[in-house]
Structure 1
């Protein structure tokens, strides 16, 4: 078992990524001491960029990665997309989700793919990023964005991970899982109990089998949707630790880190 430990604060940058539709503000964390490191593109959950995401990016950077976190709602203005409470509890959640849903619904597959090309192009040209393949990870709706990115860019993405995924397996003709047979990346999907039906998990695994890639799909015990996010009532310390226990070996193996 690999335990994530508290690491010193990593260097960070606030960035702006040119895209076909404008400019996305972004955040990056990377190891101290110079050098070049494997790149990781991190897609947020529906709540977007905020301190807990920056902390998670810093934690991952402490393990040897350059982590780029774009503001996925940049078309609607700079981050934060909506005013968020410090803690998103069950009382606050409905009002926050009501504000965010129009932005989520406007983030079509076409927009995701245009952004993904811009994000990967930006990530791979940063002076702190090595020349090898990259990893893409996502949380909640970000898991679907990560999968779309990996399936559209199989030559660049060597590892993809999604945690408590949303919109990953749907009935829509352009559901992300329908393009999974194009994957070449190693995959981990960490599910909360109830994130996908048994039929949905079966469809996901069937698509991954068709891709012929190494993968794991796992239901994390005693978790609910959003379990990695420490600023929500869904947070599970054990679930977050299991997430690190799965994510770090995936990235280390696929990206030849350290």
Structure 2
């Protein structure tokens, strides 16, 4: 499908959240995917992933995940300065504020005449965690979580007992968990902890581990695995075609 994109400034309880919306050019109604970025926000690789998914017949929304902490339109570089600022933002923003961001996007999606109202979520790195977290929202039907950081470590700021690991039992959406075995941010013991928790909590999920490094989907840098990325895109499209139809 040929796609186009537009920018919307969505109000949230913690301020305006700039969101880029990618959607098929052909008129019609389409299911929606909220795509949560890395700590660097809406970089060129994130835009290309959003466009890839939109071309399969989805409306893809990419919010600025740390909109409260940066001027509108901030994109961080894939360098030490960008990493330091992004990590600072990650440790500053409470999970509860991410929850209200997700609810704001749900309300936006359900008010658009080009959306069916069926919603999935997807994310990479901290965005994988935010997709997992967004699956707590009752309107979210499926989540593709790519090398999701900080679920196992319970270090992100939140109210006591409201961390994503503890809240796993409250997730009703189908989860697709995708990992790189050589990812130092989520080592073997961390992945095992999440896996066992999903089993104990009775979640509906699939589990996929590949011989890959962290950020193997990012098409910039020396960790990119093009063949594996293509395979994983296909898995994500299958998940959302099945659950959002």
Equivalent of residue 204 in structure 1, options 178, 194, 198: 194
Q: Distance in 2 between matches of 1:162 and 1:137?
A: 6
SS of equivalent residue, structure 1 residue 30: strand
Residue 80 (1) aligns with residue 80 (2): no
User: 1:155-234, aligned counterparts within 5 Å?
Assistant: 155-172=138-155, 174-195=162-183, 196-221=186-211, 223-234=212-223
Task: Kindly tell me the number of residue pairs found equivalent between the two proteins.
Answer: 237
1:240 lines up with 2:226 in the alignment: no
Q: In 1, distance between residues paired with 2:237 and 2:15? A: 33
Which residue is 1:135 aligned to?
Answer: 120
Q: After TM superposition, what 4+ stretches of structure 1 lie above 6 angstroms from structure 2?
A: none
Q: TM-score, normalised by structure 2?
A: 0.90
C-alpha distance in 1 between matches for 2:48 and 2:62: 11
Give the structure 2 partner of residue 67 of structure 1.
Answer: 60
Equivalent residue, structure 1, for 2:158: none
Determine whether 1:250 maps to 2:243: no
Change in 2 beyond 3 A, CA 1:194/1:168: farther
Distance 2:38 2:179 in 1: 14
CA RMSD of aligned residues (A): 1.7
| d(CA) in 2 for partners of 1:186, 1:177 | 16
Q: 1:182 to 1:44 in 2, by over 3 A?
A: same
